[in-house]
A and B are shown apart, each in its own frame.
Chain A
């Protein structure tokens, strides 16, 4: 039976444009993004599995809506290299490195070793002026973190939109670092397939490597 009844959480896609929009007016709103960072991890750490991805993730819904209902996706298969394990885990590592670099910049600004950079960095490369969204008032490191964090959120949303347009609506979910991390946590919790037995996914008949 298909679950067609709409729930309150089916409208969470609205969070994506609101979040990106708020950061356009005041960069300090970027701190709200910490919720999307901690919540999925906490859910999977405390046994909720991938409930975040499967139910609450605003970005997944947003991409699904644009690519699905609004037909903005080419609906072509995600390229093989993009769904390979090497790319998934490679992207996760890359993401971590860039995240720590962002924290390091925040630290440098906090210790006055560097000036606050009032720009958003797209695709980890292009500095886009964003000074209108900050009128001062916060500690420099607080503002620097906001610019850095917003850069990550905007960049990853843009990558998500690009792969949505070119491939499947939710191709981003294949290599989304948050999705990869939560699945890794769930794997650890569930134990190795050999120990916990078959997941009864029927994958064995399609050439499951766990069998």
Chain B
């Protein structure tokens, strides 16, 4: 649970699901076909989803910075 960052999905996500397929932790799912959501507890911040996303909507949040 010690990763420094976790992935966040921007609102222009097209819900294609490419990120879901590559996530090694199963941390992403597509919510009702509308937008991808990241379970920040599971995410290890590896960046695979960001490299895959064709819409370029994945960014990273540093843990402990936002809250």
Q: Which residues of B contact A83 (CB under 8 A)?
A: 12, 54-56
Q: Which residues of A contact B66 (CB under 8 A)?
A: 205
Residue among A77, A180, A202, A208 having the largest count of chain B Cβ atoms under 10 Å = A202
| Bound form: Cα–Cα A64–B16 in Å | 12
- Asked whether B54 lies within 8 Å of A168 as measured between CB atoms, the reply is yes
The reply to whether the CB of A113 lies closer than 8 angstroms to some CB of chain B is no
B61 nearest CB neighbor, chain A only: A205
- Minimum CB–CB distance from A161 to chain B (whole Å) comes to 14
- Asked whether B33 lies within 8 Å of A186 as measured between CB atoms, the reply is yes
Which of these, A167, A173, A190, A202, contacts B38 with CB under 8 Å? Answer: A202
Q: Which residues of B contact A203 (CB under 8 A)?
A: 8-11, 13, 35
The reply to whether the CB of A105 lies closer than 8 angstroms to some CB of chain B is no
Q: Which residues of A contact B59 (CB under 8 A)?
A: 206-207
| Bound form: Cα–Cα A60–B13 in Å | 16
| Bound form: Cα–Cα A50–B34 in Å | 8
The size of the chain B interface, using a CB distance under 8 A, is 39
- Asked whether B31 lies within 8 Å of A202 as measured between CB atoms, the reply is no
Given A171-B54, A202-B61, A44–B33 Cβ distance below 8 Å?
yes
Q: Which residues of A contact B61 (CB under 8 A)?
A: 202, 205-206
The reply to whether the CB of A169 lies closer than 8 angstroms to some CB of chain B is yes
Q: Which residues of A contact B37 (CB under 8 A)?
A: 199-202
Number of A-B contacts defined by CB within 8 Å = 132
Given A78-B54, A201-B9, A174–B35 Cβ distance below 8 Å?
no
- Asked whether A78 lies within 8 Å of B55 as measured between CB atoms, the reply is yes
- Asked whether A183 lies within 8 Å of B18 as measured between CB atoms, the reply is no
Residue among A83, A186, A199 having the largest count of chain B Cβ atoms under 10 Å = A199
Q: Which residues of A contact B4 (CB under 8 A)?
A: none
- Asked whether B33 lies within 8 Å of A182 as measured between CB atoms, the reply is yes
Q: Which residues of A contact B10 (CB under 8 A)?
A: 203, 206-208
- Minimum CB–CB distance from A131 to chain B (whole Å) comes to 37
Residues of B within 8 A of A (CB): 6-18, 20-26, 30-38, 40, 51-56, 59, 61, 66
22 inter-chain pairs at a CB distance below 8 angstroms, sorted by A residue, are: A1-B25, A78-B54, A169-B18, A172-B54, A173-B16, A174-B55, A179-B16, A180-B14, A185-B33, A186-B32, A187-B34, A190-B33, A201-B37, A201-B38, A202-B37, A202-B38, A203-B10, A203-B13, A203-B35, A205-B61, A206-B61, A207-B10
Q: A2-B24, A202-B37, A204-B8 are in contact. List 11 more A-B contacts (CB 8 A).
A: A49-B34, A51-B33, A64-B18, A168-B52, A169-B52, A170-B18, A179-B16, A190-B34, A199-B34, A205-B66, A206-B9
